[in-house]
């Protein structure tokens, strides 16, 4: 009898142990909390502790450009993903300058010895816009020092060359010195308040053309959306080279028709990093996994396409000029980057839910290039992403749709204004 009782007791103990082990190995919970092997741990993760990546618009003061370190270090799993704005600005400026030097015989349309250009500014309070304006002015010698950098303010019109925010520059080609003048520049903001507005840029070039005519030799734009609007509205027919930024597919294709050039900010790398940073945080693995260090699927980025600045908790994709010499290599802007195109193992990186917004559903670059890339990568990284499109004008149009953050495991945020990070973190703090 004693022997039978002992056997029964042992069986019950083994059964209880197996049951407890099974409970401890349960895969997902709604919190998104993760162990090193990718399986979820017990307990609930507070919204304020969930992985967060700011992207495309770096948290910063819209007046001074000073980084918002509080937002960038919101929690231990907070990062920014964008591109090296300063390096990209230099690339665009040099691209414009080199084009003028190589094509001086045709660029000076009226032969007056003055290379006149107009500049479409996206958003006077946006770091990337500020950098691109400065990059063009610096390369062409028209920049005026203001504080620690070059003045990036729009000048309106500058027919006489007396505007205070710019000065006349010079360029020497084949022994002849030409004057370079910024004839006009303005922020492309529509009546509703949306910036980077392509339609406004199209209207602006019409007004500038009426005022300056053949004095306009070159068009520079902070992005391709505005650049292509000006190109299609006027520059193409008048054979005026137009330079943009983003390497959107339509702009790249237009290089064959006279569009001067654009800059690829490696949107394929940016989109990957935006989601990869979240994936690594959710899996609790080394943040360099699948980025600088090859993951189990073979994904890895080379050092010539991105950089990481630890003090800014920011990943930056590097930029490359796209011109008549190489544009055929950039015709498909929504193609995933081959070195990071391998599917992750779902047993190690189980499906998680991400809330991601795009500040303006009508933004040309984010809508036609960035979002398609995100959608291509989300499946590869086993992330179920809910995409939210804003109106480009008010933060509340987006934040009102983050009513239940507990439903998500991680967040990717693209603000309307760079100094509005608290509008989002205040919701996560509740």
| Tens digits of residue pLDDT in 353-388 | 999 999 999 998 999 999 999 999 999 999 999 999
Count of Cβ atoms closer than 10 Å to residue 136 Cβ: 29
Mean pLDDT for 103-108 is 95
Residue extent(s) of CATH 3.40.50.2300 domains in the chain? 104-240
pLDDT digits (tens, 9 = 90+) for 224-243: 999 999 999 999 999 999 99
The strand pair at 114-121 and 176-187 is best described as: parallel
pLDDT digits (tens, 9 = 90+) for 16-62: 333 333 333 333 333 333 344 333 333 589 999 999 999 999 999 98
Structure confidence at residue 37 (pLDDT): 38
Q: Which residues contact 410 (CB under 8 A, 6 or more apart)?
A: 32, 50, 51, 52, 53, 278, 281, 282, 352, 353, 354, 355
Does the pLDDT at position 327 exceed 80? Answer: yes
Q: Write down the pTM of the prediction.
A: 0.76
Q: What is the DSSP-derived secondary structure letter of residue 334?
A: T
- The helix (H) or strand (E) run that includes residue 54 is strand 52-55
- In terms of CATH, what superfamily is 104-240? Response regulator (3.40.50.2300)
Q: Where are the alpha helices (DSSP H) in 244-402?
A: 249-254, 267-283, 364-365, 371-380, 396-399
Cα separation, 411 vs 414, whole angstroms: 10
pLDDT band at 65 (very low <50, low <70, confident <90, very high): confident
C-alpha closest to that of 330 among 414, 230, 244: 244
> Beta strands of 323-430 (E only): which ranges?
352-358, 383-389, 410-413
Tokens of 220: 């520079």
Token pair 């019109």: residue: 157
Q: For the chain, how far is it from start to end, CA to CA, in angstroms?
A: 61
pLDDT digits (tens, 9 = 90+) for 257-309: 999 999 999 999 999 999 999 999 999 999 999 999 999 999 999 999 999 99
DSSP letter string over 199-215? HHHHHHHHHHHHHHGGG
């Amino acid at each position: 009898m004693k022997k039978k009782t002992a056997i029964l007791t042992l069986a019950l103990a083994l059964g209880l142990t197996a049951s407890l082990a099974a409970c401890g190995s349960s895969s997902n919970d709604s919190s998104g909390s993760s162990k090193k092997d990718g399986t979820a741990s017990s307990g609930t993760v507070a919204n304020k502790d969930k992985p967060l990546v700011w992207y495309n618009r770096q948290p910063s003061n819209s007046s001074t450009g000073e980084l918002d370190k509080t937002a960038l270090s919101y929690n231990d799993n907070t990062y920014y993903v964008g591109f090296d704005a300063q390096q990209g600005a230099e690339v665009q400026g040099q691209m414009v300058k080199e084009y003028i030097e190589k094509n001086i015989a045709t660029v000076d349309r009226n032969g007056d010895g003055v290379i006149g250009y107009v500049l479409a500014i996206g958003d006077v309070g946006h770091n990337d816009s500020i950098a691109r304006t400065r990059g063009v002015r610096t390369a062409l010698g028209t920049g005026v020092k203001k504080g620690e950098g070059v003045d990036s303010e729009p000048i309106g019109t500058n027919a006489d060359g007396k505007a205070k925010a710019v000065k006349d520059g010079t360029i020497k080609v084949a022994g002849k010195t030409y004057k370079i003048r910024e004839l006009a520049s303005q922020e492309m903001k529509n009546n509703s308040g949306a910036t980077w507005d392509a339609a406004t840029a199209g209207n602006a070039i019409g007004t500038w053309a009426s005022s300056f005519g053949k004095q306009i030799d070159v068009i520079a734009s902070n992005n391709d959306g505005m650049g292509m609007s000006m190109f299609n509205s006027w520059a193409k027919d008048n054979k005026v080279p137009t330079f943009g930024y983003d390497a959107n597919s339509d702009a790249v294709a237009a290089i064959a028709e006279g569009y001067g050039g654009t800059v690829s900010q490696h949107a394929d790398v940016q989109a990957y990093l935006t989601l990869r940073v979240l994936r690594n945080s959710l899996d609790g693995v080394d943040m360099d996994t699948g980025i600088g260090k090859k993951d189990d699927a073979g994904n890895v980025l080379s050092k010539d396409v991105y950089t990481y600045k630890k003090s800014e908790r920011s990943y930056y994709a590097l930029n490359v000029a796209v011109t008549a010499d190489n544009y055929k290599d950039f015709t498909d802007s929504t193609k995933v980057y081959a070195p990071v195109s391998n599917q992750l193992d779902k047993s190690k990186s189980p499906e998680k839910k991400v809330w991601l917004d795009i500040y303006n559903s009508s933004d040309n670059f984010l809508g036609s290039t960035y979002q398609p890339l995100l959608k291509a990568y989300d499946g590869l990284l086993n992330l179920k992403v809910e995409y939210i499109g804003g109106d480009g004008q008010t933060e509340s149009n987006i934040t009102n749709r983050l009513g239940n953050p507990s439903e998500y495991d991680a967040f990717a945020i693209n603000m309307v204004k760079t100094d509005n990070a608290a509008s989002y973190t205040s919701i996560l703090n509740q």
